[in-house]
Structure 1
């Protein structure tokens, strides 16, 4: 039998909350409530609900519907539960997944075939539903094909959700179905590893960029000093976001410059997203870049990674430099160290790499010696 509770609202009117509850072996298995303006409406709602759960099969159907969750709901619960521990790329990828129609499916009903079809749609370039349908670009829905590596990233992050989110929703999630789907996708080339990038900037390209950034900075002293970040990327060899987390308090400069060290906060790690702080050695040219920065903030480079990316992309477009990423400067800096004759342990002590398998991706040697010896732009850091 349902119950009705009356309560006084803030505006002085009376509301009536109706509740229908069913228990089994002392445990509540069905509970629905609704609020109405009159007792008559509340009583009518109770009769309607009780009539629909009177038959066992009807109650079972309602319970099943009550317990079900869409894939989008599960993804959101997963990311909300991680809070700040979810990486930026992972959060962006998962948030995008929730905007596909595919994510509206009941998560427990998803099959390997459906996962494969979704992967094929991603590869084809199908776009997710826009965040704001009223503010979309003219060609928003045009197909923008994704590489096997990009599709693989989507499916990999989805796999993590299905592996660990089950206890959050008390459901058996179809992790096994996704594993089968990923194996099929790999076989057909829908997903795959990224191609090893070997692009390195030429001195001519770097000279153009440095001249452009110096002139821009002189015209607007408040602008991000991109010329200094270019030097940092080459001579410190960290990742873009890692540069922006460097703190002045983490620099340990001994009497000899060769003994200087710096702590990289939250160094990128495949499993540990926070607290992976690593101390690395600073070469004289790297230390010179740091010391050339004004101490206006607790951070050495107090800028947002997105701003750095945007300024870099704009500059390359203006200068007609094609297919050059800011991250390519890290490749350039690490390759330079090998070309100068440094061994693996020496290079790793500066870059923070733990394995040769990862470090060797950056060892793209083109010559021997230091090609930056006598480079005019070194005067910016007193060398």
Structure 2
């Protein structure tokens, strides 16, 4: 017999949430338990009724089967529909979790104390709070799919109670805002180093134009993955724009297409690329970032990532006087607050140049 109950809970902001708890009893003993939280009571009631009906119509003992977290992660890995749609970072974390002690725990027996121990182990191994948070977030994501995809009971509800505790203990947290921009001197050294790498390349089949790609990345504010997906057919030479497909977005990546202006010398960079492929830059993005990192490390340039070039490009546009909405048209940001707070780091001395330009215009 399956039954549900609704618990009204007040949140920190004064609003309410509604937790629907379901239990299934057989011979007077609870053989299955699960819960889910909703923003509205009506949604919680609907889910509770539908879920109880499903559990009574199906064999709850079969649904209630459990395996280890390691086995569940392997099931996720072997499911092509899920794995092929999984991003690089999440794949890395899932593979890493398979080798952690937490993977030995049964899916229905995971406790807050287990998550605390895992986070402490990761912290002691040198991982920061933001990195450890990925472990927790991606493990929760996999465990939420256990029941609907494989009919396996997994205690994913424990994360709702555990995450505030982990935050209070400072074991997990958000990544700190990066403010790193390359200096002019660093960029000059990088370009020289990348050019020397190109000149000394012994690979006769692939000659990656590192300098062009670096300049293009800054001028367009594109992620390296986006740069390497650009197609000649999507280039509009009359308007000097390019159709960028599947731009990254927290809510929707697939189908998130944008027309992006090719500002500065970025259009000229595209035009001088040889048309040997349907792609404008037919190279693997890991090869480009790897080459960048090798040159950076050889030059002794510290704490500079390839993705920082995106911030550099956005900051340059702001310094040139482009509005927030105009810069977003280049970067692809839907959330303007994120664009301003995360991808902007203005150099104060650049304001002198803007003032000089405006003064020059007044005197004309």
Q: TM-score normalised to the size of structure 1?
A: 0.70
Aligned partners of 2:69 and 2:100: how far apart in 1?
10
Aligned partners of 2:156 and 2:65: how far apart in 1?
18
Aligned partners of 1:163 and 1:365: how far apart in 2?
42
Contact 2:244 2:260 in 1 (8 A): yes
Question: Residue 91 in 1 paired to residue 79 in 2?
Answer: no
Contact 2:132 2:171 in 1 (8 A): yes
Give the structure 2 partner of residue 74 of structure 1: 72
Give the structure 2 partner of residue 184 of structure 1: 165
Aligned partners of 1:114 and 1:90: how far apart in 2?
21
Unaligned runs of 5+ in 1: 1-62, 126-144, 372-383
SS at match of 2:278: coil
Within the candidate set 119, 137, 146, 2:127 is matched to 146
Contact 1:77 1:168 in 2 (8 A): no
Contact 1:247 1:300 in 2 (8 A): yes
Question: Residue 363 in 1 paired to residue 344 in 2?
Answer: yes
Cα displacement (A) at 1:209: 1.1
Whose Rg is larger?
1
Question: Residue 124 in 1 paired to residue 108 in 2?
Answer: no
Question: Residue 171 in 1 paired to residue 171 in 2?
Answer: no
Contact 1:74 1:169 in 2 (8 A): no
Aligned partners of 2:128 and 2:83: how far apart in 1?
29
Kindly report the root-mean-square deviation, in angstroms, between the aligned alpha carbons of the 2 structures.
2.2
SS at match of 1:168: helix
Aligned partners of 2:292 and 2:240: how far apart in 1?
29
Aligned partners of 2:298 and 2:345: how far apart in 1?
28
Within the candidate set 187, 194, 199, 2:175 is matched to 194
Aligned partners of 1:238 and 1:173: how far apart in 2?
39
Aligned partners of 2:87 and 2:353: how far apart in 1?
36
Unaligned runs of 5+ in 2: 1-60, 355-364
Q: TM-score normalised to the size of structure 2?
A: 0.74
Give the structure 1 partner of residue 8 of structure 2: none
Cα displacement (A) at 1:114: 0.9
Q: Deviations over 1:194-247 (max 9, x none)?
A: 111111111111111111222222333743221111101111110111111111
Cα displacement (A) at 1:273: 4.2
SS at match of 1:85: coil
Aligned partners of 2:96 and 2:251: how far apart in 1?
21
Give the structure 2 partner of residue 103 of structure 1: 103
SS at match of 2:243: strand
Aligned partners of 1:150 and 1:323: how far apart in 2?
17
Aligned partners of 2:299 and 2:102: how far apart in 1?
41
Contact 1:331 1:362 in 2 (8 A): yes
Give the structure 2 partner of residue 161 of structure 1: 142
Q: Deviations over 1:20-54 (max 9, x none)?
A: xxxxxxxxxxxxxxxxxxxxxxxxxxxxxxxxxxx
| Count of residue pairs the alignment pairs up | 286
Counting only pairs closer than 5 Å after superposition, residues 337-356 of structure 1 correspond to structure 2 as 337-356=317-336
Cα displacement (A) at 1:279: 2.1
